[in-house]
């Protein structure tokens, strides 16, 4: 999101998936890692390839993604690493017993299952201090290894745990690098709401709190006051403009009364996304998507009205703005926003 050469949202945020608050733009660094993981995968699943035995520079990120996303089904024990591969119930000894792994000599960490199990050679790999934690984890691994039965006569098989068929896909490898990221409330619903693209883009900026309200401009030293230009009482944040201002609440009251939702939806100042996510569930399910469209329309028009007051000195009373919003809602219905039409006709 760029205007006049100025970025409104950090590019790193834009490259997140939409349900994490981004725009779904491909992150080239992560995409490059996902594609390079493909060569690691091909080398392991088909070691007959002529170039699979060639020396390759190990990349920490590529190796980490590959290790996390693969599971080894041990057969003849000739390809699976004892300490670092996921061969014990889908997990590696490194992850199951981290303290024990730290006690293993560095030169032994690349031992194959075949060599480590021969005469319990893996026990001799442990050269570090025998702390209580190391001993406890040693007993855990000992029990796991004792009950392990390799599939004799078959080669080791690697499965990609991120796809149903167990085969590598670049999309799953790319998505795996976002595991653990927190989902942003309302992020997915923004792009599912039936509204013009510019209105959805506006609410995406609202989600990231990147609109130039008086509160934000004052914080950046761009103006002398952060008081709302409409009510001249409270700090002008986006939550205040859309929900908290007495003017905004009056507009909402007029529209909700026409839709017979005044007793269902309570308008008060709070986080815009939290208010939307909670109140949309109070509306009957057939009209819920229509309420989403209405929320976007009202929020958009309140923002436009605020801009007109701030920069053009214009002034519209609440009844006039509500009437204008209702007329625009009918125009949206005529242009194909059927969910909003269902709300207007159902309520």
Residue 202 in this model has a pLDDT that exceeds 70? yes
Burial class (CB in 10 A: 0-12, 13-18, 19+), 191: middle
- pLDDT of amino acid 88: 83
Q: Quote the pTM value.
A: 0.79
Mean pLDDT of all residues belonging to the chain: 88
pLDDT tens sequence across 276-286: 999 999 999 99
Helix (H, G, I), strand (E, B) or coil at 271: coil
- pLDDT of amino acid 51: 58
For residues 50 and 56, the answer to whether their CB atoms sit within 8 Å is no
Please tell me the number of Cα atoms within 13 Å of 152 on its side-chain side.
Answer: 1
């Amino acid at each position: 999101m760029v205007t006049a050469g100025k970025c409104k949202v950090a590019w790193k945020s834009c490259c997140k998936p939409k349900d994490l608050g981004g725009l779904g733009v491909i992150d080239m660094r992560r995409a490059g890692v996902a594609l390079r993981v493909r060569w690691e995968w091909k080398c392991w699943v088909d070691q007959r390839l002529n170039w699979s035995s060639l020396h390759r520079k190990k990349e920490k990120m590529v190796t980490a993604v590959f290790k996390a996303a693969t599971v080894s089904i041990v057969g003849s024990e000739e390809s699976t690493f004892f300490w670092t591969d996921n061969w014990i119930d889908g997990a590696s000894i490194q992850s199951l017993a981290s303290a024990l792994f730290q006690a293993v000599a560095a030169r032994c960490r690349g031992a194959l299952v075949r060599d480590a199990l021969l005469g319990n050679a893996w026990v001799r790999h442990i050269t570090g201090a025998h702390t209580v934690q190391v001993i406890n984890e040693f007993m855990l691994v000992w029990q796991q290894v004792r009950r392990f039965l390799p599939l004799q006569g078959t080669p080791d098989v690697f499965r990609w745990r991120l796809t149903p068929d167990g085969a590598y896909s670049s999309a799953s490898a790319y998505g795996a690098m976002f595991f653990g990221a927190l989902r942003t409330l309302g992020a997915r619903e923004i792009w599912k709401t039936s509204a013009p693209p510019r209105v959805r883009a506006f609410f995406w900026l609202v989600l990231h709190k990147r609109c130039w309200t008086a509160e934000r401009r004052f914080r950046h030293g761009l103006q002398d006051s952060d008081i709302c230009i409409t009510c001249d009482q409270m700090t002008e944040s986006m939550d205040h403009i859309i929900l908290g201002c007495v003017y905004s609440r009056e507009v909402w009251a007029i529209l909700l009364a026409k839709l017979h939702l005044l007793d269902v939806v309570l308008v008060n100042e709070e986080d815009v996304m939290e208010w939307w996510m909670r109140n949309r569930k109070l509306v009957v399910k057939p009209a819920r998507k229509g309420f989403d469209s209405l929320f976007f329309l009202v929020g958009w028009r309140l923002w436009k009205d605020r801009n007109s007051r701030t920069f053009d000195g214009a002034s519209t009373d609440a009844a006039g703005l509500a009437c204008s919003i209702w007329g625009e809602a009918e125009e949206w219905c005529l242009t194909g926003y059927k969910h909003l039409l269902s709300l207007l006709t159902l309520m």
